[in-house]
């Protein structure tokens, strides 16, 4: 069976995630490295810390990376990898594009910059950024509203019946008010991720990312920005350079994976958000979740 390993992004975190990884001897060296690099334990976050982007992103990457190591140690291997937003870094790690330390340094910087961008937004009410999940909607009407209402856009195209919109809080509220969706839920995030409000953070992040050498992946990696797979390290790096401001094309990614012959997806990391989205997009795709040791 042709299997894709897929990796969750911010929003899948939970207090205590990955705690059983402490019992696996294969995790010890990386957990020690993570503590030295971060100055805190990625498996020991409090309820308050785990909701802060600067903590959430490195912790999620660490858990997914260690679960990936465990899968490989059990003799498992994917045909390809993909990740949702932050999860793309875990997908690149799983494909061997960069090592654990490089990935963790990048994710830690990404988390700090995105957190800081959100704090700057909060300091200027006219440009406060926010996001909302929209469920059960008319897609054509949503796309039209995002075109005619300034400062709002689709951030995550997750499934046929679920998207996340991003932008100025007032603009997000205006779209939700006119769309008449089944549900519209404001998200507890620190800023308008995957929008132009992240441009300054993306520019600063690019200064660190650009000189890093990416290795050719051992398997194809699907990009959030293109919804297609590549084995070209420069193509994959370019996708990361624009990822912070570009929408996550997850629905299209799932459709493309199926078109490319993927028969099953393994969600490697906490929670089951992505397998739920896969089910709503292509119910025939088989699904497994690996959030703890034991395959």
Q: How far is it, in rounded angstroms, from Cα 275 to Cα 286? A: 9
What pLDDT, on a 0 to 100 scale, did the predictor assign at position 127? 53
Structure tokens at 228: 């297609």
| 85 tagged catalytic | yes
- Give the model confidence (pLDDT) of 187-196 as tens digits: 877 778 898 8
Q: Strand 129-135 vs strand 162-168: parallel, antiparallel, or unpaired? A: antiparallel
Containing H/E element for 80?
strand 80-83
- For 106-127, what is each residue's pLDDT tens digit? 999 999 998 887 665 554 444 5
Phi, psi of 116 (to 5 degrees): -65, -35
The structural domains of the chain, ordered by start, are 3-120+195-290 (3.40.366.10), 125-186 (3.30.70.250)
Which helix or strand (DSSP H or E) is residue 275 part of? helix 273-281
Catalytic residue from among 194, 195, 223, 291: 194
Q: Which of 12, 85, 190, 223 is catalytic?
A: 85
193-246 pLDDT, tens digit per residue, is: 898 888 999 999 999 999 999 999 999 999 999 999 999 999 999 999 999 999
Asked about 127 being catalytic, the answer comes back as: no
């Amino acid at each position: 069976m042709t299997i894709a390993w897929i990796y969750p992004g911010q929003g899948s975190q939970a207090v205590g995630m990955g705690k059983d990884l402490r019992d696996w001897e294969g995790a010890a060296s990386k957990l020690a490295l993570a503590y030295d690099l971060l100055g805190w334990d990625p498996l020991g976050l409090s309820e308050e810390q785990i909701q802060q982007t600067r903590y959430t992103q490195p912790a999620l990457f660490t858990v997914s990376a260690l679960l990936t190591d465990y899968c490989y140690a059990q003799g498992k291997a994917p045909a390809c990898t993909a990740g949702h937003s932050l999860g793309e870094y875990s997908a690149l790690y799983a494909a061997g594009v960069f090592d654990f330390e490089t990935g963790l340094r990048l994710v830690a910087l990404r988390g700090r910059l995105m957190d800081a961008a959100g704090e700057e937004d909060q300091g200027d009410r006219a440009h406060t950024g926010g996001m909302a999940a929209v469920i059960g909607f008319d897609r054509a009407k949503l796309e039209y509203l995002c075109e005619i209402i300034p400062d709002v856009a689709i951030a995550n195209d997750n499934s046929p019946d679920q998207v996340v919109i991003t932008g100025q809080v007032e603009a997000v509220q205006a779209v939700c008010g006119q769309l008449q969706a089944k549900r519209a839920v404001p998200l507890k995030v620190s800023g308008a991720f995957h929008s132009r409000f992240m441009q300054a953070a993306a520019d600063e992040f690019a200064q660190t990312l650009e000189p890093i050498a990416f290795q050719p992946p051992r398997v194809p990696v699907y990009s959030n920005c293109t919804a297609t797979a590549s084995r070209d390290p420069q193509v994959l790096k370019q996708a990361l350079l624009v990822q912070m401001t570009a929408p996550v094309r997850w629905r299209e990614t799932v459709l493309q994976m199926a078109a490319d012959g993927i028969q099953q997806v393994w969600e490697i990391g906490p929670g089951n958000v992505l397998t739920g989205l896969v089910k709503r997009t292509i119910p025939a795709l088989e699904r497994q979740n690996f959030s703890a040791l034991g395959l």
